[in-house]
Amino acid sequence: MKADRFTEFVAIDWSGAQGTAHSGIRMARCARGDTAPRIVAPPGRAWSREGIAAWLIARRHEPLLVGFDFSFSAPFVERGAHLPGDPATPDARALWAHIERSCDDPDLGARSFLEARRGRHFYLGVADGRKADFLHWRRCEVAVDGTRKPSTVYDAIGASQVAKASFSGMRLLHRLDGQVAIWPFDPVPPAGMTVVEIYTTIAARDAGRPRGRSKMRSAETLDAALLHLGGRAHDTLAVYDDHSTDAILTAAWLRKVAARPDLWRPAGLTPQIAQTEGWTFGVA
């Protein structure tokens, strides 16, 4: 990847919550150089998922690298299907289309998709059986030492669950498909926007945050992490919440690592995985 391929870097802290205005969505943006990313204000009191989609589509021809903190697909390799027993989805794009056809939730929500399949594919509580029976991981979520991320897209309950955000995010990807490049399902084009999946904990660890303490809730800890990435201090925030600090730090991290060839060509990313499961940018 050429060092000058992207001129700006955007990180979006996503939300799968119900409703049409989401206080949990934050967007941070920065240009090349060392100036700290800034929070991009929503057009109203809070971002909607539709608003994020419109913002991206309007800027699709700009050389932006955009990271989202949700899973771009579901596990496939382990069982040969994303959702065994559902209509076949041979690749991630087919899965996105299946979710879109099955949902009428407002603002690209996907709660109804999960609830209609609870107990078969998704764990939403003890009535669904043993939680362990629902836990399956993508190849990029299993480390070389055999450890795994703490949650999977089939776990839809608890503070660490990622299911609601990820399946609503897949509706967003369906909306963006064909208009912007979505890595690794698409190759990185010579111009225009590229969207990648991020895991904010990777950015925090690369910024010197200790294991288990990736979240930053003060100006001092955020500035220390930005300095570790070679950036300058940030503009003071009104509130230091995880959503804002994650977005700011991860945008700075994307800027720092965007030209690393090993992150665009990770050893474990086979053609099959690239089309069915996708990959988290930053997992080498």
What was the pLDDT predicted at 147?
54
The 3 state secondary structure assigned to the chain is CCCCCCCEEEEEECCCCCCCCECCCEEEEEECCCCCCEECCCCCCCECHHHHHHHHHHCCCCCEEEEECCCCCCCCCCCCCCCECECCCCCHHHHHHHHHHHCCCHHHCCHHHHHCCECCCEECCHHHCCHHHHCCCCHHHECCCCCECCCCCCECCCCCCCHHHHHHHHHHHHHHECCEEECCCCCCCCCCCEEEECCHHHHHHHCCCCCCCCCCCCHHHHHHHHHHCCCCCCCCCCCCCHHHHHHHHHHHHHHHHCCCHHHHCCCCCCHHHHHHCCCECCCC
Highest mean pLDDT out of 170-179, 211-220, 229-238: 170-179
Q: How many domains does the chain have?
A: 1
Q: Is-contact 82 74, C-beta < 8 A?
A: yes
Burial of 186 per CB tally in 10 Å (0-12, 13-18, 19+): middle
User: Could you tell me if residue 186 is inside a domain?
Assistant: yes
Measure Cα distances from 44 to 15, 41, 81 in Å: 17, 8, 40
User: Could you tell me if residue 45 is inside a domain?
Assistant: yes
Residue type at 51 in one-letter notation: G
User: Could you tell me if residue 212 is inside a domain?
Assistant: yes
The whole-angstrom separation of Cα 236 and Cα 62 is 28
User: Could you tell me if residue 165 is inside a domain?
Assistant: no
What was the pLDDT predicted at 284?
85
Q: What residue numbers bound the domain in which 259 lies?
A: 8-72+177-264
Structure tokens belonging to residue 171 = 């509706």
The whole-angstrom separation of Cα 61 and Cα 51 is 18
User: Could you tell me if residue 196 is inside a domain?
Assistant: yes
User: Could you tell me if residue 207 is inside a domain?
Assistant: yes
Summarize pLDDT for 164-194 with one digit per residue, the tens. 999 999 999 999 999 999 999 999 999 999 9
Q: Dihedral angle at the C-alpha atoms of 179, 182, 184, 185, nearest 10 degrees? A: -50
Residue 146 pLDDT > 70: no
**CA R_g for the chain:** 18
User: Could you tell me if residue 136 is inside a domain?
Assistant: no
List the single range of 53-67, 198-212, 241-255 with lowest mean pLDDT: 198-212
pLDDT exceeding 70 applies to what percent of the chain?
A: 93
Helix crossing, 219-228 with 242-257: angle to 10°? 10
Q: Is-contact 2 190, C-beta < 8 A?
A: no
Whether this model's pTM surpasses 0.85: yes
